[in-house]
């Protein structure tokens, strides 16, 4: 008989206010043609002519977001957070605080009890005291706290100067109650994408079965409460604790799924909605994965061009040097570092905004070139730092709870061959990883708003390790069907999410938060 372990939510009351797990994802560090410190300039749209702002004045003007009437109990956590995320010292003057609040496990009452959710808030000394907060969710891509810390560590701060930003960590991620449900060998096997097995696709499918049994046993009867719908409920619980009627919400990457679900369930409480690098709406797992892989390949190409321009240690062709290292890792020739772990680590440098981009590029290039010579010390440290992105049990549960239409093993094996040619760096491993959630019970369909008379700002770029531009039409189409007015702003740089990199995007975002005026659809921000 299999022994069942149950996690009791009543123990949450004994936990410290907010302890960021060592497995917090640093995610996707940007190198390269990334952010510019010069003032951003919104350029002409793709069809020529300046893109005129879209006014929302008149009877259709949405209500303003509101300042909390009853706030949470905040405590300083800047040094601890930045240290655990390896971001160095917090920027001078930054006010970075953490708090927690209780939320029902299930607002419908199907499961009784409460969880404790963790949040982080960032602001600057010049942030107006009465400014309404912007609520941030990164979904399952990484903890929302790490996205917020990346913004604060980056070169652009226009939004923080105008509004405090409050990041809500999803259940099982970041400072929220952790989930520890897998045996070590299962967790390790998923992290390496079954490398060393005769057939990695079959190996990951078997690991998915083992992980699913372990985690559903451990979590029952709460195993179905980690999806985007419950994440949206948690955000609305924060709104209720603030005692406000309307909030401004930004969803980045997979967080756009949570934000759209919030709009479907609680649209009357939205005053502003921003979707930054949204994943495709209602897409199957193959479509979502391919869009991520395409964006990752494009970001790596941008990194390689910047690296070459700096005469970095990867030589005249950094892209070829990275591909060679990935192939060596896949053959077991890079010490204990598998191809999947190496790619996770590289991806960790293809998104995060940094004020010292040149040094950041050099750090990755030097670690990779040293590994190519047999010295993996620096790379091992980076692998360990980035491992939480795929090794967190809570992230596995949350990802699988929203995994629509998983691939079959036969289809994944076909894509192994196709993607290995089409996407030579990231494709083959990504095809095997399609099986990671294949055994998880089928989740409910994604919720999309049916009525949303609201102007919505959509930000995106092509060289994005979460979702390339192919993902956006399904999102803007769904919003248009619900009655929303949308405007898409494209950034020509690379990284994730856009608003943490581009001062131009932040200027347009700040203007939208002020009076709901959208930039012209098709506005372009330079790298």
Residue 206 CA to residue 212 CA, distance in Å, equals 10
Weakest-pLDDT range from 55-64, 445-454, 475-484: 55-64
CA dihedral over 362, 364, 369, 375, signed as positive or negative: positive
| Confidence check: pLDDT of 37 > 80 | no
The pLDDT value recorded for residue 54 is 58
499: enclosing H helix or E strand:
none
The pLDDT value recorded for residue 348 is 80
pLDDT in tens, 189-239: 999 999 999 999 999 999 999 999 999 999 999 999 999 999 999 999 999
Residue 243 CA to residue 116 CA, distance in Å, equals 18
The pLDDT value recorded for residue 341 is 94
**pLDDT category of residue 465 using cuts at 50, 70 and 90:** very high
CA dihedral over 496, 501, 502, 507, signed as positive or negative: positive
The answer to whether 203 touches 431, Cβ cutoff 8 Å, is no
- Give buried/exposed letters for 205-215 (b at 16+ CB in 10 A, else e): bbbbebbbebb
The pLDDT value recorded for residue 106 is 95
Weakest-pLDDT range from 32-36, 432-436, 463-467: 32-36
List, edge to edge, every strand of the sheet that includes 75-76: 75-76, 95-104, 114-123, 165-168, 134-137, 247-252, 270-276, 455-460, 485-491, 523-525
Residue 121 CA to residue 101 CA, distance in Å, equals 13
Q: Give me the residues paired with residue 114 across strands.
A: 104
Question: What does the mean pLDDT of the chain come to?
Answer: 88
HEC secondary structure over 68-90: CCCCCCCEECHHHHHHHCCCCCC
CA triplet 32, 36, 39: central angle to 5 degrees?
Answer: 170
In eight-state DSSP terms, residue 214 is H
pLDDT in tens, 304-359: 999 999 999 999 999 999 999 999 999 999 999 999 999 999 988 888 877 778 88
The answer to whether 518 touches 56, Cβ cutoff 8 Å, is yes
452: enclosing H helix or E strand:
none
The pLDDT value recorded for residue 391 is 64
Residue 495 CA to residue 283 CA, distance in Å, equals 22
The pLDDT value recorded for residue 155 is 80
The pLDDT value recorded for residue 157 is 83
| Confidence check: pLDDT of 2 > 60 | no
Residue 136 CA to residue 264 CA, distance in Å, equals 17
| DSSP secondary structure string for all residues of 125-156 | TTS-TTPPPEEEE-TTSS-HHHHHHHHHHSS-
Q: Cβ of 3: how many Cβ atoms within 10 Å?
A: 5
**pLDDT category of residue 28 using cuts at 50, 70 and 90:** very low
CA dihedral over 230, 471, 212, 22, signed as positive or negative: negative
Average pLDDT over residues 428-442: 97
CA dihedral over 391, 394, 397, 399, signed as positive or negative: negative
The pLDDT value recorded for residue 3 is 36
What structural domains does the chain harbor? 9-178+228-282+448-525 (3.40.50.1820), 184-221+290-433 (no CATH)
Q: Cβ of 69: how many Cβ atoms within 10 Å?
A: 9
| Confidence check: pLDDT of 46 > 60 | no
pLDDT in tens, 282-310: 999 999 999 999 999 999 999 999 999 99
Average pLDDT over residues 227-255: 98
Q: Cβ of 376: how many Cβ atoms within 10 Å?
A: 20
The pLDDT value recorded for residue 38 is 35
pLDDT in tens, 467-503: 999 999 999 999 999 999 999 999 999 899 999 999 9
Give Cβ neighbours of residue 409 (< 8 Å, ≥ 6 apart). Answer: 201, 202, 205, 435, 438
Which conformational region is residue 259 in: left (phi greater than 0), alpha (psi within -120 to 50 degrees), or beta? alpha
Average pLDDT over residues 119-141: 96
Higher pLDDT, 444 or 357: 444
Weakest-pLDDT range from 142-156, 280-294, 300-314, 422-436: 142-156
């Amino acid at each position: 008989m299999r022994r069942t372990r149950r996690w009791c939510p009543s123990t949450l009351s004994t936990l410290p206010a907010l302890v960021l797990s060592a497995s917090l994802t640093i995610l996707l560090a940007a190198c390269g043609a990334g952010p510019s410190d010069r003032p951003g300039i919104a350029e002409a749209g793709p069809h020529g002519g300046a893109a005129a702002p879209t006014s929302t004045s008149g009877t259709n003007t949405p209500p303003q977001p509101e300042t909390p009437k009853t706030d949470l109990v905040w405590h300083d956590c800047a040094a601890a957070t930045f240290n655990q995320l390896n971001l160095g010292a917090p920027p001078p003057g930054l006010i970075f605080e953490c708090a927690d609040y209780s939320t029902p496990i299930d607002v419908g009452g199907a499961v009784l009890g409460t969880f404790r959710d963790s949040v982080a808030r960032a602001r600057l000394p010049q942030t107006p005291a009465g400014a309404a907060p912007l609520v941030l969710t990164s979904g399952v891509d990484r903890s929302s706290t790490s996205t917020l810390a990346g913004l604060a560590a980056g070169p652009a701060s226009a939004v923080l100067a105008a509004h405090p930003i409050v990041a809500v960590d999803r259940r099982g991620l970041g400072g929220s109650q952790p989930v520890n449900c897998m045996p070590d060998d299962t967790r390790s096997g998923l992290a390496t994408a079954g490398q060393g097995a005769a057939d990695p696709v079959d190996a990951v499918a078997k690991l998915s079965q083992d992980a699913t049994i372990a985690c559903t046993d451990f979590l029952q009867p709460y195993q179905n409460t980690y999806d985007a719908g419950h994440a949206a409920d948690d955000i609305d619980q924060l709104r209720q604790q603030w005692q406000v009627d309307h909030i401004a919400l930004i969803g980045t990457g997979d967080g756009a799924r949570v934000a759209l679900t919030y709009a479907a369930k609680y649209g009357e409480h939205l005053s502003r909605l921003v979707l930054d690098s949204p994943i495709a709406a209602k897409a199957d797992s193959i479509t979502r994965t391919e869009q991520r892989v395409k964006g990752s390949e494009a970001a790596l190409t941008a990194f390689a061009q910047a690296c070459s321009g700096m005469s970095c240690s990867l030589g005249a062709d950094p892209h070829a040097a990275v591909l060679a290292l990935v192939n060596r890792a896949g053959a077991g020739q890079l010490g204990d570092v598998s191809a999947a772990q190496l790619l996770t680590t590289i991806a960790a440098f293809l998104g995060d905004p940094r004020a010292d981009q040149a040094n950041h590029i050099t750090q990755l290039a030097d670690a990779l070139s040293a590994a190519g010579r047999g010295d993996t010390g620096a790379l091992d440290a980076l692998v360990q730092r980035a491992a939480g992105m795929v090794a967190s049990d809570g992230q596995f549960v949350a990802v699988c709870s929203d995994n629509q239409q998983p691939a079959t093993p036969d289809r994944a094996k076909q894509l192994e061959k196709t993607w290995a040619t089409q996407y030579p760096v990231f494709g083959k491993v990504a095809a095997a990883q399609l099986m990671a959630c294949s055994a998880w019970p089928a989740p409910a369909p994604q919720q999309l708003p049916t009525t949303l008379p609201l102007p919505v700002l959509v930000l995106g770029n092509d060289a994005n390790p979460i979702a390339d531009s192919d993902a956006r039409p399904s999102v803007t189409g769904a919003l248009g069907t619900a009655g929303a007015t949308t405007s898409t702003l494209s950034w020509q740089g690379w990284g994730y999410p856009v608003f943490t990199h581009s001062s131009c995007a932040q200027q347009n975002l700040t203007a939208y938060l002020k009076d709901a005026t959208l930039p012209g659809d098709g506005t372009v921000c330079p790298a």
